[in-house]
Structure 1
Amino acid sequence: MCQRKDEGGRCYYHQRQRVDALEQRLAESSPDTAEREEISSSLETARADLIQTRTGLQEHITERTAAGGSYDAEQLTANINRYVADSPTGKPLTLPGGSFRVVRAHTSHGHTVLEVTGPTSARSYSSGLAERYTQDAAGKQVTRATPTELQRDFHTMLVLADGRAGAAVRHSGEISAVYSDGSSRGATRALLPIAAERGGTHLECFDTFLPKIYARSGFVKVASIPFNREFAPDGWDYSAMSRVAPPRGEPDITFMVTQDQYEKLGRPEPRSFQDYDEADEYTRTGHTS
Protein backbone atom coordinates (compact mmCIF):
# COMPACT_ATOMS: atom_id res chain seq x y z
CA MET A 1 0.00 0.00 0.00
CA CYS A 2 1.24 3.49 -0.83
CA GLN A 3 2.41 5.36 2.27
CA ARG A 4 2.53 8.76 0.55
CA LYS A 5 -1.15 9.56 0.68
CA ASP A 6 -2.48 12.97 -0.25
CA GLU A 7 -5.76 14.48 0.96
CA GLY A 8 -8.77 12.26 0.30
CA GLY A 9 -6.76 9.03 0.61
CA ARG A 10 -5.21 9.28 -2.84
CA CYS A 11 -1.54 9.07 -3.68
CA TYR A 12 -0.48 12.20 -5.56
CA TYR A 13 2.93 10.81 -6.46
CA HIS A 14 1.58 7.69 -8.17
CA GLN A 15 -1.16 9.69 -9.91
CA ARG A 16 1.47 12.15 -11.17
CA GLN A 17 3.60 9.29 -12.52
CA ARG A 18 0.55 7.83 -14.23
CA VAL A 19 -0.27 11.14 -15.93
CA ASP A 20 3.33 11.68 -17.02
CA ALA A 21 3.53 8.17 -18.49
CA LEU A 22 0.27 8.55 -20.41
CA GLU A 23 1.34 11.96 -21.75
CA GLN A 24 4.54 10.37 -23.01
CA ARG A 25 2.63 7.51 -24.64
CA LEU A 26 0.24 9.98 -26.26
CA ALA A 27 3.13 12.00 -27.70
CA GLU A 28 4.63 8.83 -29.18
CA SER A 29 1.39 7.39 -30.56
CA SER A 30 0.27 7.61 -34.17
CA PRO A 31 -2.50 10.10 -34.98
CA ASP A 32 -6.03 8.97 -35.83
CA THR A 33 -5.68 5.51 -34.33
CA ALA A 34 -7.79 3.54 -31.86
CA GLU A 35 -4.77 3.27 -29.60
CA ARG A 36 -4.41 7.07 -29.46
CA GLU A 37 -8.10 7.49 -28.59
CA GLU A 38 -7.74 4.92 -25.81
CA ILE A 39 -4.67 6.69 -24.42
CA SER A 40 -6.43 10.07 -24.58
CA SER A 41 -9.38 8.69 -22.66
CA SER A 42 -7.13 7.16 -20.01
CA LEU A 43 -5.18 10.41 -19.74
CA GLU A 44 -8.35 12.42 -19.18
CA THR A 45 -9.35 10.08 -16.36
CA ALA A 46 -5.87 10.17 -14.85
CA ARG A 47 -5.80 13.98 -14.87
CA ALA A 48 -9.20 14.07 -13.15
CA ASP A 49 -7.90 11.68 -10.48
CA LEU A 50 -4.77 13.81 -10.05
CA ILE A 51 -6.85 16.94 -9.43
CA GLN A 52 -8.67 15.10 -6.65
CA THR A 53 -5.44 15.00 -4.64
CA ARG A 54 -4.56 18.09 -2.62
CA THR A 55 -1.19 18.70 -4.27
CA GLY A 56 -2.63 18.00 -7.71
CA LEU A 57 -5.46 20.47 -7.16
CA GLN A 58 -3.01 23.13 -5.98
CA GLU A 59 -0.99 22.65 -9.18
CA HIS A 60 -4.19 22.73 -11.23
CA ILE A 61 -5.36 26.02 -9.67
CA THR A 62 -1.96 27.68 -10.04
CA GLU A 63 -1.70 26.60 -13.66
CA ARG A 64 -5.21 27.77 -14.55
CA THR A 65 -4.94 31.17 -12.85
CA ALA A 66 -1.35 31.96 -13.82
CA ALA A 67 -0.72 35.65 -14.53
CA GLY A 68 -4.41 36.47 -14.27
CA GLY A 69 -5.14 34.85 -17.62
CA SER A 70 -8.49 33.50 -18.74
CA TYR A 71 -9.54 29.99 -17.70
CA ASP A 72 -12.64 27.81 -17.56
CA ALA A 73 -14.04 29.08 -14.27
CA GLU A 74 -17.03 26.73 -14.32
CA GLN A 75 -14.78 23.69 -14.64
CA LEU A 76 -12.32 24.92 -12.01
CA THR A 77 -15.18 25.63 -9.61
CA ALA A 78 -16.57 22.13 -10.16
CA ASN A 79 -13.15 20.54 -9.57
CA ILE A 80 -12.66 22.44 -6.32
CA ASN A 81 -16.15 21.65 -5.02
CA ARG A 82 -15.65 17.98 -5.85
CA TYR A 83 -12.42 17.99 -3.86
CA VAL A 84 -14.07 19.80 -0.91
CA ALA A 85 -16.93 17.28 -0.89
CA ASP A 86 -14.43 14.42 -0.72
CA SER A 87 -12.32 16.15 1.95
CA PRO A 88 -14.71 18.21 4.12
CA THR A 89 -12.14 18.64 6.91
CA GLY A 90 -9.19 18.88 4.58
CA LYS A 91 -5.97 20.79 4.99
CA PRO A 92 -5.68 24.34 3.59
CA LEU A 93 -4.78 24.63 -0.08
CA THR A 94 -1.51 26.41 -0.78
CA LEU A 95 -2.28 28.96 -3.50
CA PRO A 96 -0.12 31.71 -5.04
CA GLY A 97 -1.65 34.25 -2.63
CA GLY A 98 -1.42 32.17 0.54
CA SER A 99 -2.87 29.11 2.28
CA PHE A 100 -6.65 28.88 2.57
CA ARG A 101 -9.07 26.28 3.85
CA VAL A 102 -11.87 26.20 1.27
CA VAL A 103 -15.46 25.43 2.23
CA ARG A 104 -16.99 26.00 -1.22
CA ALA A 105 -16.27 27.55 -4.60
CA HIS A 106 -18.47 29.85 -6.69
CA THR A 107 -18.31 31.04 -10.29
CA SER A 108 -18.73 34.79 -10.83
CA HIS A 109 -18.02 36.93 -13.90
CA GLY A 110 -15.47 34.54 -15.38
CA HIS A 111 -13.64 33.87 -12.11
CA THR A 112 -13.69 31.15 -9.49
CA VAL A 113 -14.32 32.66 -6.05
CA LEU A 114 -13.43 30.65 -2.96
CA GLU A 115 -15.24 30.88 0.36
CA VAL A 116 -12.59 30.23 3.01
CA THR A 117 -12.49 29.78 6.77
CA GLY A 118 -10.25 29.11 9.75
CA PRO A 119 -7.15 30.65 11.33
CA THR A 120 -4.81 29.76 8.46
CA SER A 121 -7.13 31.45 5.96
CA ALA A 122 -7.41 34.49 8.23
CA ARG A 123 -3.63 34.82 8.46
CA SER A 124 -3.22 34.63 4.69
CA TYR A 125 -6.09 37.05 4.12
CA SER A 126 -4.66 39.54 6.62
CA SER A 127 -1.27 39.28 4.90
CA GLY A 128 -2.90 40.02 1.54
CA LEU A 129 -4.50 43.15 2.98
CA ALA A 130 -1.20 44.30 4.49
CA GLU A 131 0.71 43.73 1.27
CA ARG A 132 -1.81 45.72 -0.76
CA TYR A 133 -1.78 48.49 1.86
CA THR A 134 1.98 48.97 1.49
CA GLN A 135 2.10 48.43 -2.28
CA ASP A 136 1.51 52.07 -3.27
CA ALA A 137 -0.35 55.24 -2.28
CA ALA A 138 -3.71 53.90 -3.49
CA GLY A 139 -3.26 50.88 -1.24
CA LYS A 140 -3.86 53.06 1.81
CA GLN A 141 -7.55 52.94 0.88
CA VAL A 142 -7.65 49.28 1.93
CA THR A 143 -9.22 48.50 5.30
CA ARG A 144 -6.74 46.32 7.15
CA ALA A 145 -7.80 43.60 9.58
CA THR A 146 -5.82 41.28 11.82
CA PRO A 147 -6.40 37.51 11.73
CA THR A 148 -8.21 37.80 15.06
CA GLU A 149 -10.49 40.55 13.74
CA LEU A 150 -11.27 38.58 10.59
CA GLN A 151 -12.41 35.58 12.63
CA ARG A 152 -14.24 37.63 15.26
CA ASP A 153 -15.92 40.43 13.28
CA PHE A 154 -16.56 38.78 9.90
CA HIS A 155 -18.69 35.78 9.01
CA THR A 156 -17.44 35.36 5.43
CA MET A 157 -14.05 35.62 3.74
CA LEU A 158 -13.85 35.33 -0.05
CA VAL A 159 -10.78 35.14 -2.28
CA LEU A 160 -10.19 34.59 -5.97
CA ALA A 161 -8.91 31.14 -6.85
CA ASP A 162 -5.30 32.36 -6.81
CA GLY A 163 -5.75 33.98 -3.39
CA ARG A 164 -4.55 37.37 -4.63
CA ALA A 165 -7.79 39.31 -4.18
CA GLY A 166 -10.50 39.18 -1.56
CA ALA A 167 -13.62 40.63 0.04
CA ALA A 168 -15.10 39.93 3.46
CA VAL A 169 -18.51 40.41 5.08
CA ARG A 170 -18.93 41.66 8.64
CA HIS A 171 -21.66 40.41 10.96
CA SER A 172 -23.27 43.85 10.44
CA GLY A 173 -23.63 43.19 6.70
CA GLU A 174 -20.85 45.59 5.74
CA ILE A 175 -18.59 44.41 2.93
CA SER A 176 -15.08 45.43 3.95
CA ALA A 177 -11.40 44.50 3.77
CA VAL A 178 -11.61 44.40 -0.03
CA TYR A 179 -8.26 44.06 -1.79
CA SER A 180 -6.62 43.03 -5.05
CA ASP A 181 -2.96 42.96 -6.00
CA GLY A 182 -3.94 43.90 -9.56
CA SER A 183 -2.93 40.61 -11.18
CA SER A 184 -6.49 39.61 -12.16
CA ARG A 185 -8.77 41.87 -14.17
CA GLY A 186 -12.33 42.10 -12.91
CA ALA A 187 -11.45 40.78 -9.45
CA THR A 188 -13.74 43.14 -7.55
CA ARG A 189 -16.60 42.61 -9.98
CA ALA A 190 -16.32 38.86 -9.37
CA LEU A 191 -16.06 39.10 -5.58
CA LEU A 192 -18.80 41.60 -4.75
CA PRO A 193 -21.83 39.65 -6.07
CA ILE A 194 -20.81 36.63 -3.98
CA ALA A 195 -20.29 38.89 -0.97
CA ALA A 196 -23.84 40.20 -1.49
CA GLU A 197 -25.16 36.64 -1.75
CA ARG A 198 -23.49 35.89 1.57
CA GLY A 199 -25.32 38.71 3.34
CA GLY A 200 -23.36 41.82 2.37
CA THR A 201 -25.65 44.86 2.04
CA HIS A 202 -23.41 47.93 2.13
CA LEU A 203 -19.86 49.25 2.00
CA GLU A 204 -17.90 52.45 2.36
CA CYS A 205 -14.93 53.69 0.35
CA PHE A 206 -12.92 56.77 -0.51
CA ASP A 207 -14.37 58.87 -3.33
CA THR A 208 -11.55 58.21 -5.79
CA PHE A 209 -11.87 55.61 -8.54
CA LEU A 210 -13.51 53.15 -6.15
CA PRO A 211 -17.18 54.28 -6.33
CA LYS A 212 -17.15 53.77 -10.11
CA ILE A 213 -15.76 50.27 -9.69
CA TYR A 214 -18.40 49.39 -7.10
CA ALA A 215 -21.18 50.99 -9.16
CA ARG A 216 -20.36 48.55 -11.97
CA SER A 217 -21.30 45.80 -9.51
CA GLY A 218 -24.66 47.43 -8.83
CA PHE A 219 -23.84 49.44 -5.73
CA VAL A 220 -25.64 52.75 -5.26
CA LYS A 221 -24.34 55.81 -3.40
CA VAL A 222 -26.58 56.89 -0.53
CA ALA A 223 -24.37 59.02 1.72
CA SER A 224 -21.03 60.77 2.11
CA ILE A 225 -18.94 62.58 4.71
CA PRO A 226 -15.92 64.86 4.25
CA PHE A 227 -12.38 63.57 4.57
CA ASN A 228 -11.03 64.09 8.08
CA ARG A 229 -7.26 64.29 8.48
CA GLU A 230 -7.59 63.19 12.09
CA PHE A 231 -8.75 59.77 10.89
CA ALA A 232 -6.57 59.51 7.77
CA PRO A 233 -4.98 56.08 7.24
CA ASP A 234 -1.38 55.69 8.39
CA GLY A 235 1.01 56.85 5.70
CA TRP A 236 -1.63 58.63 3.61
CA ASP A 237 0.19 60.44 0.76
CA TYR A 238 -1.75 63.64 0.09
CA SER A 239 0.38 64.59 -2.90
CA ALA A 240 0.04 61.22 -4.63
CA MET A 241 -3.67 60.93 -3.83
CA SER A 242 -4.35 64.42 -5.22
CA ARG A 243 -4.13 62.82 -8.67
CA VAL A 244 -7.27 60.78 -7.98
CA ALA A 245 -8.83 63.16 -5.45
CA PRO A 246 -7.94 66.69 -6.54
CA PRO A 247 -6.94 69.19 -5.44
CA ARG A 248 -5.62 68.20 -2.00
CA GLY A 249 -5.82 64.40 -1.92
CA GLU A 250 -8.70 64.52 0.55
CA PRO A 251 -11.52 62.42 -0.92
CA ASP A 252 -14.92 62.21 0.72
CA ILE A 253 -15.96 58.92 2.29
CA THR A 254 -18.74 57.43 0.15
CA PHE A 255 -21.36 55.04 1.54
CA MET A 256 -22.98 52.62 -0.93
CA VAL A 257 -25.59 49.86 -0.79
CA THR A 258 -26.45 46.92 -3.02
CA GLN A 259 -29.29 47.38 -5.50
CA ASP A 260 -31.50 45.05 -3.45
CA GLN A 261 -30.81 47.00 -0.28
CA TYR A 262 -31.45 50.27 -2.11
CA GLU A 263 -34.92 49.05 -3.07
CA LYS A 264 -35.63 47.76 0.46
CA LEU A 265 -34.71 51.16 1.91
CA GLY A 266 -37.17 52.87 -0.44
CA ARG A 267 -34.59 54.25 -2.89
CA PRO A 268 -33.26 56.97 -0.54
CA GLU A 269 -31.80 60.16 -1.98
CA PRO A 270 -28.03 60.48 -1.50
CA ARG A 271 -27.24 62.80 1.39
CA SER A 272 -24.13 64.51 2.73
CA PHE A 273 -23.37 64.33 6.44
CA GLN A 274 -20.72 65.74 8.74
CA ASP A 275 -21.02 62.94 11.28
CA TYR A 276 -19.90 59.37 10.51
CA ASP A 277 -22.49 57.69 12.72
CA GLU A 278 -25.34 59.58 11.06
CA ALA A 279 -24.11 58.60 7.60
CA ASP A 280 -23.73 54.99 8.71
CA GLU A 281 -27.23 54.90 10.19
CA TYR A 282 -28.71 56.41 7.04
CA THR A 283 -26.88 53.81 4.93
CA ARG A 284 -28.22 50.92 7.00
CA THR A 285 -31.78 52.17 7.59
CA GLY A 286 -32.59 54.88 5.03
CA HIS A 287 -33.20 57.48 7.75
CA THR A 288 -31.57 59.14 10.76
CA SER A 289 -32.71 59.34 14.38
Structure 2
Amino acid sequence: MRAIWTGAITFGLVNVPVKVYSATEDHDVPLHQVHDKDGGRIRYQRRCEICGKIVPYEHIDKAFDSGEKTVILTADDLASLPAERSREIDVVEFVPNEQLDPITFDRSYYLEPDSKSLKAYVLLRRTLEDSERTAIVNFALRQKSRLAALRVRGDVLLLQTLLWSDEVREAVFPSLDEAPRITQRELELSSALMESFAGNFEPEKFSDEYQDELRRLIDAKLEQGDAIDTAETFGEESESRSGGGEVIDLMEALQRSVERSRAGGAKESAKNGAKNGAKKKPA
Protein backbone atom coordinates (compact mmCIF):
# COMPACT_ATOMS: atom_id res chain seq x y z
CA MET A 1 0.00 0.00 0.00
CA ARG A 2 1.07 3.57 -0.65
CA ALA A 3 0.38 6.37 1.81
CA ILE A 4 -1.96 9.02 0.37
CA TRP A 5 -1.48 11.60 3.14
CA THR A 6 0.79 12.24 6.11
CA GLY A 7 0.05 14.28 9.18
CA ALA A 8 -0.56 13.95 12.89
CA ILE A 9 -3.43 13.24 15.27
CA THR A 10 -3.60 16.03 17.82
CA PHE A 11 -5.59 16.31 21.05
CA GLY A 12 -4.51 18.67 23.80
CA LEU A 13 -0.72 18.76 23.72
CA VAL A 14 -0.48 15.16 22.49
CA ASN A 15 0.78 14.72 18.93
CA VAL A 16 0.70 11.34 17.11
CA PRO A 17 2.34 11.46 13.65
CA VAL A 18 0.66 9.04 11.22
CA LYS A 19 0.52 7.98 7.57
CA VAL A 20 -2.90 7.54 5.93
CA TYR A 21 -3.73 4.64 3.60
CA SER A 22 -6.94 3.77 1.76
CA ALA A 23 -8.53 0.84 3.61
CA THR A 24 -10.68 -0.36 0.71
CA GLU A 25 -10.28 -1.01 -3.01
CA ASP A 26 -12.51 -1.58 -6.01
CA HIS A 27 -12.71 -5.15 -7.32
CA ASP A 28 -14.94 -4.46 -10.35
CA VAL A 29 -13.88 -5.78 -13.74
CA PRO A 30 -12.45 -2.79 -15.66
CA LEU A 31 -14.61 -2.02 -18.69
CA HIS A 32 -14.46 0.77 -21.27
CA GLN A 33 -16.93 2.03 -23.86
CA VAL A 34 -16.80 1.14 -27.57
CA HIS A 35 -18.84 1.92 -30.68
CA ASP A 36 -21.33 -0.97 -31.16
CA LYS A 37 -20.91 -0.94 -34.96
CA ASP A 38 -17.14 -1.25 -35.28
CA GLY A 39 -15.77 -1.71 -31.74
CA GLY A 40 -13.85 1.56 -31.84
CA ARG A 41 -12.85 2.94 -28.43
CA ILE A 42 -14.98 5.86 -27.19
CA ARG A 43 -12.83 8.59 -25.64
CA TYR A 44 -13.84 11.80 -23.90
CA GLN A 45 -11.91 14.95 -24.71
CA ARG A 46 -11.46 18.12 -22.65
CA ARG A 47 -12.09 20.63 -25.42
CA CYS A 48 -12.17 24.38 -24.83
CA GLU A 49 -15.40 25.87 -26.16
CA ILE A 50 -13.65 29.17 -27.03
CA CYS A 51 -10.51 28.11 -28.93
CA GLY A 52 -11.68 24.59 -29.79
CA LYS A 53 -8.39 23.02 -28.64
CA ILE A 54 -8.06 19.87 -26.49
CA VAL A 55 -6.70 20.99 -23.11
CA PRO A 56 -4.29 18.85 -21.00
CA TYR A 57 -4.96 18.54 -17.25
CA GLU A 58 -2.05 20.77 -16.27
CA HIS A 59 -3.74 23.71 -18.01
CA ILE A 60 -7.16 23.23 -16.43
CA ASP A 61 -8.29 25.47 -13.57
CA LYS A 62 -11.58 25.51 -11.67
CA ALA A 63 -14.19 28.24 -11.68
CA PHE A 64 -17.33 29.44 -9.92
CA ASP A 65 -20.11 31.11 -11.86
CA SER A 66 -22.16 33.56 -9.77
CA GLY A 67 -24.59 34.14 -12.62
CA GLU A 68 -23.12 37.56 -13.37
CA LYS A 69 -19.41 36.87 -13.09
CA THR A 70 -17.04 33.91 -13.26
CA VAL A 71 -14.27 33.55 -10.67
CA ILE A 72 -11.22 31.52 -11.76
CA LEU A 73 -9.57 29.44 -9.02
CA THR A 74 -6.06 28.17 -9.79
CA ALA A 75 -4.35 25.21 -8.13
CA ASP A 76 -2.21 27.69 -6.17
CA ASP A 77 -5.35 29.51 -4.99
CA LEU A 78 -6.85 26.29 -3.64
CA ALA A 79 -3.58 25.15 -2.05
CA SER A 80 -3.34 28.48 -0.20
CA LEU A 81 -6.48 27.82 1.87
CA PRO A 82 -5.55 27.40 5.58
CA ALA A 83 -7.53 24.16 5.91
CA GLU A 84 -5.78 22.64 2.89
CA ARG A 85 -2.34 23.54 4.28
CA SER A 86 -3.06 21.90 7.62
CA ARG A 87 -1.55 18.48 8.22
CA GLU A 88 -3.37 17.82 11.46
CA ILE A 89 -6.16 15.40 12.33
CA ASP A 90 -7.65 17.45 15.14
CA VAL A 91 -9.66 15.60 17.81
CA VAL A 92 -12.84 17.53 18.63
CA GLU A 93 -14.42 15.16 21.16
CA PHE A 94 -14.64 11.55 22.31
CA VAL A 95 -18.14 10.05 22.04
CA PRO A 96 -19.67 6.67 23.01
CA ASN A 97 -19.33 4.16 20.18
CA GLU A 98 -23.06 3.51 20.00
CA GLN A 99 -23.84 7.15 19.19
CA LEU A 100 -22.46 6.83 15.65
CA ASP A 101 -25.07 6.03 13.02
CA PRO A 102 -23.59 3.80 10.25
CA ILE A 103 -25.53 5.78 7.61
CA THR A 104 -23.07 8.64 8.11
CA PHE A 105 -19.96 6.53 7.33
CA ASP A 106 -18.27 7.38 4.04
CA ARG A 107 -14.67 6.30 3.20
CA SER A 108 -12.30 4.29 5.41
CA TYR A 109 -8.56 4.81 5.91
CA TYR A 110 -5.92 2.96 7.90
CA LEU A 111 -3.51 5.00 10.01
CA GLU A 112 0.06 3.75 10.33
CA PRO A 113 2.19 5.13 13.17
CA ASP A 114 5.32 7.05 12.31
CA SER A 115 8.36 5.01 13.38
CA LYS A 116 9.10 7.59 16.08
CA SER A 117 5.60 7.63 17.58
CA LEU A 118 4.69 3.99 18.22
CA LYS A 119 4.14 4.47 21.97
CA ALA A 120 1.79 7.44 21.51
CA TYR A 121 -0.10 5.55 18.79
CA VAL A 122 -0.57 2.43 20.95
CA LEU A 123 -1.52 4.56 23.96
CA LEU A 124 -4.28 6.29 21.97
CA ARG A 125 -5.51 2.97 20.60
CA ARG A 126 -5.64 1.38 24.07
CA THR A 127 -7.41 4.42 25.52
CA LEU A 128 -10.10 4.27 22.84
CA GLU A 129 -10.55 0.53 23.41
CA ASP A 130 -10.76 0.77 27.20
CA SER A 131 -13.17 3.72 27.18
CA GLU A 132 -15.35 2.23 24.39
CA ARG A 133 -15.37 5.65 22.76
CA THR A 134 -14.71 6.99 19.27
CA ALA A 135 -12.78 10.18 18.55
CA ILE A 136 -14.58 12.71 16.33
CA VAL A 137 -11.95 14.56 14.31
CA ASN A 138 -11.58 17.34 11.74
CA PHE A 139 -9.00 17.35 8.96
CA ALA A 140 -8.56 18.39 5.33
CA LEU A 141 -8.00 15.96 2.48
CA ARG A 142 -8.11 16.52 -1.28
CA GLN A 143 -9.48 20.06 -1.13
CA LYS A 144 -12.25 19.23 1.33
CA SER A 145 -12.72 19.69 5.04
CA ARG A 146 -13.63 16.35 6.54
CA LEU A 147 -15.44 15.23 9.64
CA ALA A 148 -14.38 11.74 10.62
CA ALA A 149 -14.57 9.02 13.24
CA LEU A 150 -11.28 7.72 14.61
CA ARG A 151 -11.75 4.24 16.06
CA VAL A 152 -9.99 0.93 16.59
CA ARG A 153 -10.01 -2.03 14.18
CA GLY A 154 -7.86 -4.87 15.43
CA ASP A 155 -4.43 -3.43 16.21
CA VAL A 156 -4.87 -0.46 13.87
CA LEU A 157 -6.44 2.97 14.16
CA LEU A 158 -9.12 3.38 11.52
CA LEU A 159 -10.27 6.75 10.20
CA GLN A 160 -13.77 6.81 8.69
CA THR A 161 -14.90 10.02 7.07
CA LEU A 162 -18.45 11.03 7.95
CA LEU A 163 -21.16 12.66 5.91
CA TRP A 164 -22.16 16.11 7.12
CA SER A 165 -25.55 16.25 8.81
CA ASP A 166 -27.17 18.05 5.86
CA GLU A 167 -25.96 15.31 3.49
CA VAL A 168 -28.16 12.65 5.12
CA ARG A 169 -31.75 12.77 3.92
CA GLU A 170 -34.70 12.38 6.22
CA ALA A 171 -37.01 9.49 5.36
CA VAL A 172 -40.58 10.82 5.28
CA PHE A 173 -43.03 8.31 3.83
CA PRO A 174 -46.78 9.06 4.11
CA SER A 175 -47.46 5.33 3.65
CA LEU A 176 -46.05 4.75 7.16
CA ASP A 177 -48.35 7.26 8.86
CA GLU A 178 -50.95 4.57 9.59
CA ALA A 179 -49.27 1.52 11.10
CA PRO A 180 -51.07 -1.78 10.31
CA ARG A 181 -52.12 -4.07 13.14
CA ILE A 182 -49.57 -6.86 13.75
CA THR A 183 -50.88 -9.97 15.50
CA GLN A 184 -48.94 -12.02 18.05
CA ARG A 185 -49.04 -15.02 15.72
CA GLU A 186 -47.48 -13.01 12.91
CA LEU A 187 -44.72 -11.86 15.25
CA GLU A 188 -44.07 -15.45 16.36
CA LEU A 189 -43.86 -16.74 12.79
CA SER A 190 -41.65 -13.83 11.74
CA SER A 191 -39.33 -14.48 14.70
CA ALA A 192 -39.22 -18.20 13.89
CA LEU A 193 -38.32 -17.43 10.28
CA MET A 194 -35.60 -15.02 11.39
CA GLU A 195 -34.22 -17.60 13.83
CA SER A 196 -34.00 -20.17 11.03
CA PHE A 197 -31.65 -17.78 9.17
CA ALA A 198 -29.63 -16.85 12.29
CA GLY A 199 -25.85 -17.05 12.15
CA ASN A 200 -22.58 -15.20 12.64
CA PHE A 201 -21.53 -12.74 9.97
CA GLU A 202 -18.47 -14.01 8.08
CA PRO A 203 -17.74 -11.61 5.19
CA GLU A 204 -15.42 -14.06 3.44
CA LYS A 205 -18.41 -16.37 2.77
CA PHE A 206 -19.90 -13.84 0.37
CA SER A 207 -18.78 -12.77 -3.08
CA ASP A 208 -19.88 -10.29 -5.73
CA GLU A 209 -22.12 -12.52 -7.86
CA TYR A 210 -22.45 -10.00 -10.68
CA GLN A 211 -18.68 -9.55 -11.04
CA ASP A 212 -18.13 -13.34 -10.87
CA GLU A 213 -20.65 -13.89 -13.66
CA LEU A 214 -19.19 -11.01 -15.67
CA ARG A 215 -15.74 -12.63 -15.51
CA ARG A 216 -17.25 -15.96 -16.63
CA LEU A 217 -18.93 -14.20 -19.56
CA ILE A 218 -15.65 -12.51 -20.57
CA ASP A 219 -13.72 -15.79 -20.32
CA ALA A 220 -16.36 -17.55 -22.43
CA LYS A 221 -16.19 -14.85 -25.10
CA LEU A 222 -12.38 -15.00 -25.09
CA GLU A 223 -12.54 -18.75 -25.72
CA GLN A 224 -15.59 -19.04 -27.99
CA GLY A 225 -16.03 -15.61 -29.55
CA ASP A 226 -19.21 -13.56 -29.64
CA ALA A 227 -21.50 -16.43 -30.65
CA ILE A 228 -21.61 -18.02 -27.20
CA ASP A 229 -24.54 -19.85 -25.66
CA THR A 230 -25.30 -17.95 -22.46
CA ALA A 231 -27.69 -20.68 -21.27
CA GLU A 232 -24.85 -23.19 -21.56
CA THR A 233 -22.42 -20.79 -19.88
CA PHE A 234 -24.61 -19.97 -16.89
CA GLY A 235 -27.13 -22.83 -16.87
CA GLU A 236 -30.90 -22.55 -17.04
CA GLU A 237 -32.47 -20.65 -14.17
CA SER A 238 -34.99 -22.83 -12.33
CA GLU A 239 -36.95 -19.78 -11.24
CA SER A 240 -36.96 -16.12 -12.12
CA ARG A 241 -34.98 -13.70 -9.96
CA SER A 242 -37.00 -10.73 -11.11
CA GLY A 243 -39.32 -10.76 -8.10
CA GLY A 244 -43.02 -10.08 -8.26
CA GLY A 245 -45.06 -13.14 -9.10
CA GLU A 246 -48.03 -14.42 -7.11
CA VAL A 247 -49.28 -12.22 -4.29
CA ILE A 248 -50.14 -14.33 -1.25
CA ASP A 249 -51.38 -13.67 2.25
CA LEU A 250 -48.68 -12.53 4.71
CA MET A 251 -49.53 -15.23 7.26
CA GLU A 252 -49.46 -17.91 4.55
CA ALA A 253 -46.13 -16.60 3.26
CA LEU A 254 -44.62 -16.67 6.76
CA GLN A 255 -45.94 -20.17 7.46
CA ARG A 256 -44.68 -21.58 4.16
CA SER A 257 -41.31 -19.86 4.58
CA VAL A 258 -40.82 -21.34 8.05
CA GLU A 259 -41.81 -24.81 6.82
CA ARG A 260 -39.46 -24.58 3.84
CA SER A 261 -36.59 -23.40 6.04
CA ARG A 262 -37.14 -26.21 8.54
CA ALA A 263 -37.33 -28.79 5.75
CA GLY A 264 -34.08 -27.47 4.31
CA GLY A 265 -32.43 -27.64 7.73
CA ALA A 266 -33.60 -31.23 8.21
CA LYS A 267 -32.19 -32.26 4.82
CA GLU A 268 -28.86 -30.62 5.64
CA SER A 269 -28.72 -32.39 9.02
CA ALA A 270 -29.49 -35.75 7.38
CA LYS A 271 -26.81 -35.17 4.77
CA ASN A 272 -24.23 -34.30 7.43
CA GLY A 273 -25.30 -37.32 9.48
CA ALA A 274 -24.82 -39.62 6.49
CA LYS A 275 -21.36 -38.17 5.86
CA ASN A 276 -20.36 -38.61 9.49
CA GLY A 277 -21.70 -42.18 9.52
CA ALA A 278 -19.70 -43.05 6.41
CA LYS A 279 -16.54 -41.78 8.06
CA LYS A 280 -16.98 -44.05 11.10
CA LYS A 281 -15.13 -47.32 10.88
CA PRO A 282 -16.95 -50.51 11.87
CA ALA A 283 -16.00 -51.91 15.29
TM-score range, shorter chain: under 0.3
Greater helix share, structure number? 1
TM-score, normalised to structure 2, is 0.26
Could you say which structure has the greater relative contact order, defined with CA pairs below 8 angstroms and 6 or more residues apart? 2
If you compute each CA radius of gyration, which structure gives the higher value, 1 or 2?
Answer: 2
TM-score, normalised to structure 1, is 0.26
